[in-house]
Amino acid sequence: MSQATPTLKASPTPRRARHSLTPWARIAALTVCALLTLGPVIWTVSTSLRTPAQSFDLPPQIIPTHPTAEAYRGVFDQIDVWLLALNSTLVTALIAVGQMITAGLAGYAFARLEFRFKKPLFGLVLATMMVPLQVTIVPVFLVLKSMGLTDTLLGLIIPAFPTAFGTFLMRQYFLGMPKDLGEAAMLDGAGPWRIFRSVYAPLAAPGLAIVGVLAFNYHWNEFFRPLILETSSQNYTLPLGLVSLQGNLGTGSISVVLAGVVLSMLPAVAVFVVGQRPLREGITSAGVNR
């Protein structure tokens, strides 16, 4: 601070003049970074629209001279896209709904109900956020095997229902709601279930949307668990099917592989467009809440 004192006396004008240049440099740098970030995606889309013969062309044509859906037909010929998409949709949607229900209920209990062992139970839930999936996967595989759920979609869905992060998020969300609402309802004679059902649950919709969108994004893209649990190809989800498309490299066409990538990206992009705000809030609050 002692060194800052002399600068205080220096007139602020030259500093301001120097600063007025930087916004443009800043925006230019940010634009380059944004292009680097989006470049691979743009290249993927444009290559998927080229003919297989042109797919290796350099310089890459960003706007294909002869756009064609040939590669997309190739994908549909080689893998059962509809089945994979159906599997992915089923798994992802059921997990998202399941997590919204379990996290909503548990989050409310931790935020607004009184019961014994509340603190240790919440500690247990938080602690499981730190347990890597890979450490538990072998026993989880064995548990599912004993239930006859390996190589089924149900085996992917059920273990994903409890969500420590979602529970934490919903607890914070319910804590943020005014307590007087519930107290007023209680004075009117409402029991704990009525207070939850009629007062707090309807207010929870935006928070539940965050949990749902996060779950959708994570499980739509999930690779590790499906890779281990699903052995027959009729139970594959999209990411698994895609990686199997890679054999196309041998036949000299990457446009088919990339068309598959684009197809699998579409729902994720749709969620990005529609669910951008909840997704962002979900991630941002992780940093602010703790």
- Of residues 53-112, those binding other proteins (CB under 8 A): 56, 58-60, 101-103, 105-106, 108-111
Cβ–Cβ < 8 Å for 51, 68: yes
Q: Nearest to residue 65, comparing CAs of 84, 49, 45?
A: 49
Stretch that binds other proteins, among 22-30, 66-74, 77-85, 89-97 (CB under 8 A): 22-30
Two structure tokens written together for 80? 């059962």
> What span, in angstroms and rounded, lies between the C-alpha atoms of 117 and 112?
14
Instruction: Name the segment binding other proteins (CB under 8 A); options: 64-72, 73-81, 89-97, 224-232.
Output: 224-232
Instruction: Looking at residues 193 to 222 of the shown chain, list those that interact with other proteins (rule: CB under 8 A).
Output: 193, 196, 203, 206-207, 210, 217, 220-222
Question: Does residue 257 touch other proteins according to CB under 8 A?
Answer: yes
CA-wise closest residue to 161 among 217, 230, 224, 92? 92
For other proteins, the binding residues in 138-177 under the rule CB under 8 A are 138-143, 158-159, 161-164, 167, 169, 172-173, 175-177
251 contacts other proteins (rule: CB under 8 A) = no
The least CB distance from residue 33 to other proteins, in Å, is 6
Q: Which stretch binds other proteins (CB under 8 A): 65-73, 77-85, 89-97, 185-193?
A: 185-193
Q: What is the C-alpha to C-alpha distance for residues 126 and 157, in angstroms, rounded to an integer? A: 21
Closest CA to 196 of 208, 188, 204: 204
Residue 274 lies near other proteins (rule: CB under 8 A): no
Binding status of residue 14 toward other proteins by CB under 8 A:
no
CB of 15 to other proteins, least distance (A): 6
Residues counted in the chain? 290
Q: How far is the CB of 290 from other proteins (least distance, A)?
A: 6
CB 108 within 8 A of CB 175: no
Q: Quote the least distance from Cβ 134 to other proteins, whole Å.
A: 5
* 26 forms part of the interface with other proteins (CB under 8 A): yes
Rounded Cα distance, 213 and 174, in Å: 18
Q: Cα–Cα distance between 127 and 2 in angstroms, integer?
A: 45
